Chains A and B, each alone.
Chain A
Amino acid sequence: MYQYDEIDRAVLDARTAEFREQVHARLSGALSEDEFKPLRLMNGVYLQLHAYMLRVAIPYGVLSSEQLRSLAYVARTYDRGYGHFTTRQNIQYNWPALVDIPDALDHLAGVQMHAIQTSGNTIRNTTTDPFAGAAADEIADPRPWCELIRQWSTTHPEFTWLPRKFKIAVTGSPEDRAAIGVHDIGLRLVQNDQGETGFEVHVGGGQGRTPIVAKIIRDFLPQRELLAYLTSILRVYNLAGRRDNLYKARIKILVDAMGPEAFRDAVEAEYEASRGRALTLPVEEIERVSSFFAPPAEGQPLTDIPTGTAFARWRAVNVKPHKVKNRAVVVIPLKAPGATPGDASADQMDLIADLADRFALSEIRVSKEQNLVLPHADKSALGALFRALDEAGLATPNHGRASDIVACPGLDYCNLANARSIPIAQAISTGLHAAGLDEATGDLTIKISGCINACGHHHVANIGLLGVDKAGEEVYQLTLGGVGDGQAAIGKILGPGLSADDAVTAVIACVRVYAEHAQAEESFIQTLNRLGTDPFKEAVYGA
């Protein structure tokens, strides 16, 4: 993992001290709420329905065990004993008092964490494959590049007041697990004909009110040119992006309005004008940052194999291949039947930190599916890991299956939401479990958003639900066919909106159609493409 240097520490110490003064100024009346609001948002502090919400950045979803324990401490000390892991690989606390937040941030600064740029019209936390540096199919580790982007983008003066928020995702594997097609910029590490590693650059993807799949504007960007090229894209956007209409301010609208070719030409012109200057990354700096992400040493072979089918099933579903011999990637779904997607108690965080120390080189990841991951588990410890996770209710074998449901906080917590998400997710999960459908199916994604901002990523769900307000009542639109990873696709509305109860029944009905018609190892999307939407429509709306 990357470790802060003196510059990182000085920047963070200054920022936490500054925010403490800003909070004091607001409480004393020296700052009005209008003056304070953009300052608190820049530090990850929202005001939601019931309380302030603090969103803490987890850079590219990577945590040390020490950091996870600190997140548990914050949950226990300043919240109500829980944290909520988000689809942006961050964590949110739903109940901190404003007067306590400076102390919480001081504590987090002690373990090299903060909440800077987790809100505001700026470059947000870069996301990546939760299996980065471990995935067996990886071309190159995306984490050094995420770290370089983090250093470049943090408090970047030119890009602090963009037309709108800006999200970058990086993947290092042919199997995209970072949803690069629906980000403002998506970067895929690729190799060219000469065997050199560089980036395929995707721009203008996004979800929200206007879901669009990103366009490729460069097939191959040399690695050393990454920051120069990102700067060129941001400059074009910063100058030409719309600031007159909140709903048309994202880069996807600009790329669509200009056309991908004209946008690319503008970026390339900007890039040519600045090429060869200070933003070309020195080889030594790439090597320095990369040295923090060295592959783990080989593990030991698995000999302790628990009897019974539970371990075998957990291993088949939640354990993924690792690039290093006798290491494995272990997914810890926060999705037991009826659970709140993404919620983890302080005790669960402490337990997972302890297991990471004992069996997985002290490292944890957060996935955009709102799960935790041990990326470097020793294979010899899989049996012990399973027993400990199972005892804590954290071994549900449903990674990537029907009950691995993603949901935003929705109207139960969020000030922007129009409808509830969490109780819908819980009811679907419970219903699938009761019907024996939660773990029985193949690959399937169900995602729920409580408003059109799409924090629950419903647009790119195989089965998506969007909560809307219709004359004061919660109504849910059901979409099918969305895909986030790989060849991104936006789901299509299946039919008229549904009440909450009917939406739950409808989703379970769609899963049942899939389970009944899937051939061999078919995924939901493969079954949908083969059958078309008619059987699903009939199951939901009748003949």
Chain B
Amino acid sequence: MKTITANRLTDGRVVYLTPANSWTESADQAVRLDDAATDAALDTALRDVLTVVGPYLIEIDADADGFSPAGRKHVRETIRMTGPSAGSTKLTSSTGGAHVSV
């Protein structure tokens, strides 16, 4: 399963495509796409050039409670989704920090 993410043009914040083809900072509102639907959804996202920069597909593991990034880029996408795991501005991030094991 996949969803589509991008950075918002005006401020660069991480956003996700919703089922209504709008964009949200809230990952739990992101669209969930099976393989057959990804191409059309990405085409739509790529045309929204005045709202977002560089939309792309990411792999996710989803269930009724939500989803988590999956696949080879899961660490990167988890950090994008939940905020920096470290750094001085982590604490002032709107979403908190990603888990880190060290």
Interface residues of A, Cβ cutoff 8 Å to B: 26-27, 29, 32-33, 47-52, 79-82, 84, 94-95, 97-99, 340, 343, 345, 409, 411-413, 419-420, 422-424, 426-427, 469, 471-474, 500-501, 504
Contacts and interface: CB of A to CB of B under 8 A. Distances in A.
A340 B92 CA distance: 14
Nearest to B10: A99
Interface in B49-102: 49-50, 53-54, 71-76, 79-80, 83-90, 92-93, 98, 100-102
B12 A472 contact: no
A472 B71 contact: yes
Contact of B12 (A97, A424, A427, A473): A97
A80 B94 CA distance: 11
Contacts of A80: 89, 92-93
B11 A426 contact: no
A500 B102 contact: yes
Contacts of B18: none
Given A27-B9, A500-B102, 20 more contacts: A48-B12, A49-B14, A50-B12, A50-B83, A51-B12, A80-B93, A82-B89, A84-B87, A97-B10, A412-B90, A412-B98, A413-B84, A420-B86, A423-B100, A424-B102, A427-B102, A469-B72, A473-B75, A500-B100, A500-B101
A420 B86 CA distance: 9
Nearest to A29: B50
B72 A471 contact: yes
A98 B50 CA distance: 13
A51 B13 CA distance: 5
B87 A413 contact: yes
Given A27-B10, A50-B80, A413-B87, A33 B100 contact: no
Contacts of B90: 412
Contacts of B80: 49-50
Interface in B2-34: 7, 9-14
B73 A422 contact: no
A99 B12 CA distance: 10
A472 B73 CA distance: 6
Contacts of B71: 472
A472 B74 CA distance: 7
Given A29-B50, A97-B12, A49 B87 contact: no
Nearest to A339: B88
A94 B75 contact: no
B85 A98 contact: no
Contacts of B93: 50, 80
A33 B84 contact: no
Given A32-B49, A49-B79, A411-B75, A340 B88 contact: yes
B93 to A, nearest CB: 8
B85 A99 contact: no
Contact of B87 (A412, A469, A471): A412
A71 to B, nearest CB: 15
A422 B89 CA distance: 12
A412 B10 contact: no
A411 B11 contact: no
Contacts of A469: 72
